[in-house]
């Protein structure tokens, strides 16, 4: 791991010298970068991502010319608040990536300071891929690729005992104390969300939102017999689809968690498809996710009806993650629009599939 001073804190620190050292690492043949062209990417809500075009004088390993460098936020308060997210993403690329099969950008360098508030990641820029718009949602074809990729995250570490002690995440496997603690924070976050967006959500969705937030504690403790590593924010904004093949590459690993696998599946289907599209497709997409788990990862003792029930139960993830992210972040018109769209879809799905009834049925 690099020392603190070696890690860039701002785009000005992304120099040819730094990139040369970062890309060389411990390798005997140095990478020599002649020049870099750095441009900002993304909204930068929790960190900063930059597109970096590099010209090489020596490039023995064939690192691509077009890279993404991710750094911590330049805002101290944000850095403090999300340092666990930074640790999660670095842990993913350092310790987890080789143990799962979900497609991600190739990683050429990662470093983080001891306090977790300064980090750098150098990734391949996914040229030829595009992000689908969170409000428009994914196409049907993109959705198929997304659920298959999800099975490739969950399948390899399905109920793997090592995950019970995986703590490089803000949301390790829940016990009673953490579940009810997170439940209380979610109720608070839902209250703030309703104060801001209640008029847009309307009374019926507001009621579902409040009841869902109130159920988060027992929900997190449901079905403890099944767990996997979760992305937790598996939605359009974090999925880059190949423009022609629709194959997906998954980014933004700052919300790693351990829990019921279908939480990721439900979150994706509830936030990243428009409601009518989800109603028409969710059964088929759940079956496809299940098929890949069984056929490609040899998961046994998990029939498709149980997977379907897990999907229904998992829908509360689509209240948990957005409200926590939204209530404690700065407010913008775009954030309001994305959040209200995701929450309306989530509440419709929760009501349609009686997700809350499942929690009551099996306390």
Ligand X SMILES: Nc1ncnc2c1ncn2[C@@H]1O[C@H](COP(=O)(O)OP(=O)(O)OP(=O)(O)O)[C@@H](O)[C@H]1O
Minimum distance from CB of 236 to ligand X (Å)?
A: 10
Q: What residues contact 202, with CB distance under 8 A and at least 6 apart?
A: none
Contact between 267 and 311 (Cβ < 8 Å): no
| C-beta of 44 vs 60, nearer to ligand X | 44
Q: Quick one: 115 or 130, whose CB is closer to ligand X?
A: 130
Structure tokens at 150: 């999800």
State in angstroms the smallest separation of the CB of 249 from ligand X.
7
Chain centre distance of CA 4: 26
How many helices and strands (H and E) does the chain possess? 11, 10
Task: Point out which span in 155-163, 198-206, 234-242, 289-297 binds ligand X (CB under 6 A).
Answer: 234-242
CB of 175 to ligand X, least distance (A): 28
Please report, as residue ranges, which positions from 241 to 260 form the binding site for ligand X (by CB under 6 A).
251-252, 254
46 or 193: whose CB is closer to ligand X?
46
Residues from 156 through 175 that contact ligand X (CB under 6 A): none
User: Residue 57's closest CA among 35, 33, 36?
Assistant: 33
Residues forming beta bridges with residue 122, ordered by sequence position: 69, 109
Angle at 147 between CA 221 and CA 242, to 5 degrees: 140
Looking only at residues 109 through 128 of this chain, which bind ligand X when binding is defined by CB under 6 A?
123-126
Cα–Cα dist 31/114, whole Å: 26
Helix axis angle, 262-272 relative to 333-352, nearest 10°?
Answer: 120
Kindly tell me which residue out of 33, 54, 63, 68 binds ligand X, with binding defined by CB under 6 A. 68
Nearer to ligand X, 68 or 143 (CB): 68
Residue 252 CB, shortest distance to ligand X, in Å, is 4
Task: Please report the DSSP string for 167-199 in residue order.
Answer: -SSSB-S--HHHHHHHHHHHHHHHHHHHHHHHH
Residue 70 assigned as binding residue? yes
**Contact pattern for ligand X over residues 13 through 52, marking x by CB under 6 A:** ----------------------------xxxxxxx-x---
Please work out, in degrees rounded to the nearest 5, the angle formed at the alpha carbon of residue 66 by the alpha carbons of 146 and 125. Answer: 15
Q: In the range 341-360, which residues lie near ligand X by CB under 6 A?
A: none
Q: DSSP letter at 238?
A: G
Applying CB under 6 A, which part among 109-117, 203-211, 237-245, 326-334 lies near ligand X?
237-245
Q: Please report how close the Cβ of residue 74 comes to ligand X at its closest, in angstroms.
A: 12
> What 8-state DSSP symbol labels residue 94?
I
Closest to 348 in 3D by CA, of 260, 268, 274: 274
Task: Identify which of residues 46 and 186 has a Cβ nearer to ligand X in the complex.
Answer: 46
Cβ-closest residue to ligand X?
42
Sign of CA pseudo-dihedral 54, 55, 58, 59: positive
C-alpha–C-alpha distance, residues 241 and 247, integer Å: 5
- The binding track of 71-110 with respect to ligand X, each residue x by CB under 6 A or -, is ----------------------------------x-----
Q: Min. distance of Cβ 277 from ligand X in angstroms?
A: 22
Q: How far is the CB of 251 from ligand X (least distance, A)?
A: 4
Count of residues that bind ligand X according to CB under 6 A = 22
Q: How far apart are CA 122 and CA 107, in angstroms?
A: 6
Judged by CB, which is closer to ligand X: 208, or 324?
324
Phi, psi of 69 (to 5 degrees): -110, 125
- Residues annotated in a binding site for ATP: 70
Binding stretches for ligand X (CB under 6 A): 41-47, 49, 68, 70, 105, 123-126, 131, 237-238, 240, 251-252, 254
Residue ranges at the known binding site: 70
């Amino acid at each position: 791991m690099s020392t603190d001073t070696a890690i860039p804190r701002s785009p000005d620190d992304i120099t040819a010298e730094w990139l040369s050292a970062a890309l060389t690492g411990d390798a005997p043949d140095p990478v020599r970068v002649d020049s870099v062209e750095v441009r900002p990417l993304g909204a930068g809500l929790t960190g900063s991502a930059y597109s970096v075009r590099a010209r090489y004088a020596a490039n023995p390993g064939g690192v691509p010319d077009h890279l993404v460098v991710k750094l911590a936020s330049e805002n101290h308060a944000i850095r403090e608040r999300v340092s666990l997210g930074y640790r999660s993403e670095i842990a993913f690329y350092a310790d987890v990536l080789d143990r799962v099969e979900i497609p991600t950008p190739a990683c050429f360098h990662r470093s983080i300071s001891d306090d977790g508030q300064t980090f750098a990641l150098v990734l391949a820029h996914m040229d030829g891929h595009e992000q689908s718009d969170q409000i428009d949602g994914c196409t049907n074809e993109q959705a198929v690729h997304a659920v298959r990729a999800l099975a490739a995250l969950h399948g390899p570490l399905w109920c793997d005992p090592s995950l019970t002690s995986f703590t490089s995440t803000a949301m390790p496997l829940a016990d009673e104390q953490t579940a009810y603690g997170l439940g209380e924070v979610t109720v608070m976050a839902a209250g703030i969300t309703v104060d801001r967006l209640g008029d847009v959500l309307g009374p019926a969705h507001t009621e579902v939102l409040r009841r869902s937030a109130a159920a988060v504690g027992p929900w997190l403790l449901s079905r403890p017999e099944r767990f996997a590593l979760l992305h937790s924010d598996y939605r359009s904004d974090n999925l880059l689809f190949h423009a022609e093949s629709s194959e997906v590459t998954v980014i933004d690993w700052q919300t790693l968690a351990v829990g019921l696998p279908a939480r990721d599946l439900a979150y994706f289907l509830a936030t990243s498809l428009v409601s009518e599209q989800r109603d028409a497709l969710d059964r088929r997409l759940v079956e496809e996710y299940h098929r890949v788990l069984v056929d490609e990862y040899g998961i046994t003792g998990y029939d498709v009806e149980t997977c379907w029930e897990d999907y229904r139960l998992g829908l509360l993830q689509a209240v948990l993650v957005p409200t926590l992210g939204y209530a404690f972040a700065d407010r913008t018109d775009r954030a309001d629009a994305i959040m209200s769209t995701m929450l309306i879809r989530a509440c419709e799905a929760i009501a349609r599939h009686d997700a809350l009834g499942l929690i009551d049925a099996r306390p």
